[in-house]
Amino acid sequence: MQKIAVISASVRKGRSSHSVALYFKNYLLQNQLAEVELIDLKVLNFPLFEERLRFIENPTAEMLQLAKTITAVDGVIIVTPEYNGGYPASLKNAIDLLYAEWKRKPIAIASVSSGPFGASQVLTSLLFSLWKIGALTVPTTFQVPNVGAAFLDNGEPTDKETTNKRTATFINELFYWMNAKKLADKS
């Protein structure tokens, strides 16, 4: 069975995007599609970025665990809110901490907003950062507008049928790229 990490990027009090991360974790597990590791950046609580992991003299156990997890998984789903048109510093911190671990790693992006646009502006800056480090970004995105009305805190969607249909397309695209990478690695 393939392994997927779901990154919950927000560390904010009262964060709504975490419910979407929980949803993806539950969806993948309940449908027996993958082994799932939830990476909650709020729990990791990394210090402000000062250097890549390989240059840090005394990395924290959490930093080493993040590197180990990203290396071990076949794909990643990043769930990020949009803050003033960009993504949170917690996510930038986690991305910049690693380098080789992201190289050619299939990554799918779910963007979340409390407004009507589903955090569409965050995609450009996040994609650019991921491209610069050589990640394989999945072309299909999962945008969640009005997240407070779309998801309950426990990760349950308010319109389960429609959300699950959209999710199947999103997850299938991630699996396509995960499988393509495995084939490429074998040749």
Q: What is the pLDDT of residue 178?
A: 97
Q: What is the pLDDT of residue 55?
A: 78
Q: What is the pLDDT of residue 50?
A: 74
Q: What is the pLDDT of residue 8?
A: 96
CB 175 within 8 A of CB 28: no
- The helix/strand/coil state of 168 is helix
Q: What is the pLDDT of residue 118?
A: 61
Q: What is the pLDDT of residue 57?
A: 84
| Secondary structure (DSSP) of 44-104 | H-PPPP-S-GGG-SS--HHHHHHHHHHHH-SEEEEEEE-BTTB--HHHHHHHHH-STTTTT
Q: What is the pLDDT of residue 46?
A: 77
Q: What is the pLDDT of residue 115?
A: 74
- Enclosing H/E stretch for 50: none
**Digitized pLDDT (tens) for each residue of the chain, 187 residues in all:** 999 999 999 988 888 999 999 999 999 999 999 999 999 999 987 777 777 878 778 888 898 999 999 999 999 999 999 888 889 989 999 999 999 999 999 999 999 988 766 667 788 889 999 999 999 999 999 999 999 999 999 999 999 999 999 999 999 999 999 999 999 988 8
